[in-house]
Each structure stands twice: as C-alpha cells, then as structure tokens.
Amino acid sequence: MSYYHSVGFILICLFFVCVSDAEDKIDSKESNFKKQKHLLLIEPRSMRSPVSMIIPGARNTVYSAGYIGALGIIHYKAEEFRRNFKYGWKQFREHALNDAAKHLEKISPVLIKNPENKIEYALIQSENPLTSSTIVLPQFRKKFKDLLGPELLVIVPNRSTILVFSGSENNLNFYKKTFINMFKDSIYPVSREIFRINGSGIRAIGDYGAK
C-alpha cells in the first residue's frame, strides 16, 4: 500500500472514530436528560431565576425552571433551557408536572383537627424538592376536595411545607404569625402569598405577611 493510500485510510478511520464519539456524547446527553427530574419551582421573585414565569395574581412569587442534579436543585440557565426544550415553557411544564404527579401519589398529609373534631387543615411535610410544585396539579385539588371542599386556600412558606385549608371555613388568620415565622426561618423560603385553588386553577389572592 502506498504512503498516500495509508494516510488516506488513517484519516478515514479517524473520521469515523470522531463521528462515533460525537454520537455517543449526544446519546449520553439525551439519556441523562430523560433521567432528570424536572422541577417547576415556586420561589420568591427576588431570587431572579434565569428562567421564570408569572403565577396568576402573584406579586412576589414566580414559577422557576430547574432540575435535580447530583448536588441538589439546579436552575436552568436560559441557553440550556432553550436547548433542552425546543417548544418552550409548555414542554418544560409538561415534563415537570409528570414528575410532580408521581411524587404526589406518595404524599400522605397529616390532618389537623380542632376541638370540635373537624379538620382545621391538612399538613404536608417532605424534603423532596418536588413537593411545592404539586399544588399546581389538578390531582392536588382532587386529593383534598372531599376533605376540605371544592375550593382550597394553600400556604407554601418553604420548600418542604404545604398547609391546605378549606376555602369556605377556615381560621387562616389565626395562623398568620406562624406562617411568617416558617417563611422567615427557612433556608429555602417559597412564598408569603395565599394561593386559592379551585376549578379554574391556581391564583394568588393575598399576602399573609402584609400589615
């Protein structure tokens, strides 16, 4: 085999090695993306997350896009988000809520009753970062509809705590100071706003920390 033929053969081999390596990297990225748990985070607007979306009625709280990485919660950078979700926020939300729905199925709320033995509120506590995003799911309302009625008032002071009250009968004002402390004392605060959940969806209707 001549010198030029040998060089040509080597270059062709190198080309296929490079192409194969590139394809392996693409496959690896796609595999990792599918394994990721996407997070529709609910966070203070002041955090200024790179990718966020408004919550109806909310002044100080937004949805943010993130995922669970090796070291915990990671917020999507704008460029990374566009690369992974070509169809934008709607596509991301669908992925994130699928992961949240699986977590909601495992949640067992604690029912807190008053002296009359009536349910005062339902308490959810979990260190799973998917916890707060479950309130966006239609299944969340269904989970509490029979216990607390068709309209719910929901408080999410931090990532690991959700308090669910009836929208018709509640002593929510009695607990305001407790809510404020839960928000202020948390490493990962979520919101001081009250969220109403009914057949029309979710909407912030007030700030329990307002004077």
Residue 16 predicted with pLDDT over 80: no
Asked, for residue 97, whether it belongs to a domain, the answer is yes
DSSP H or E stretch at residue 54: strand 52-54
Q: pLDDT tens, 129-179?
A: 999 999 999 999 999 999 999 999 999 999 999 999 999 888 899 999 999
Residue 63 predicted with pLDDT over 90: yes
Asked, for residue 23, whether it belongs to a domain, the answer is no
Across-strand partners of 64? 41, 52
Q: pLDDT tens, 85-127?
A: 999 999 999 999 999 999 999 999 999 999 999 999 999 999 9
Q: Nearest CA to 140 among 93, 96, 100?
A: 100
Distance CA 57, CA 43 (A): 14
Residue 194 predicted with pLDDT over 60: yes
Query: Do residues 44 and 60 share a domain?
Result: yes
Q: pLDDT tens, 42-56?
A: 999 999 999 999 999
Distance CA 140, CA 144 (A): 7
For range 53-78, the mean pLDDT = 95
Q: How confident is the model at residue 5 (pLDDT cuts 50, 70, 90)?
A: low
What is the pLDDT at residue 161? 97
Distance CA 150, CA 160 (A): 24
Query: Do residues 95 and 121 share a domain?
Result: no
- How big is the chain by its Cα radius of gyration, in Å? 23
What is the pLDDT at residue 199? 95
Q: How confident is the model at residue 10 (pLDDT cuts 50, 70, 90)?
A: low
Can you say whether residue 57 is alpha, beta or left, with left for phi > 0 and alpha for psi between -120 and 50 degrees? left
Query: Do residues 127 and 186 share a domain?
Result: yes
What is the pLDDT at residue 29? 44
Q: pLDDT tens, 26-41?
A: 343 443 455 689 999 9
Query: Do residues 56 and 95 share a domain?
Result: yes
Asked, for residue 148, whether it belongs to a domain, the answer is yes
Which domain, by its residues, includes 169? 109-207
What is the pLDDT at residue 209? 81
DSSP per position, 56-91: TT-SSEEEEEEEEETTEEEEPPHHHHHHH-TTTHHH
Question: What stretches of 77-175 show up as alpha helix (H) in DSSP?
Answer: 78-84, 89-104, 138-148
Query: Do residues 97 and 127 share a domain?
Result: no
Where is pLDDT greater, at 8 or 67? Answer: 67
User: Sheet containing 119-125: which strands, arranged edge to edge?
Assistant: 110-113, 119-125, 161-166, 152-158, 193-198, 201-207
What is the pLDDT at residue 196? 98
Asked, for residue 67, whether it belongs to a domain, the answer is yes
Query: Do residues 122 and 81 share a domain?
Result: no
Asked, for residue 3, whether it belongs to a domain, the answer is no
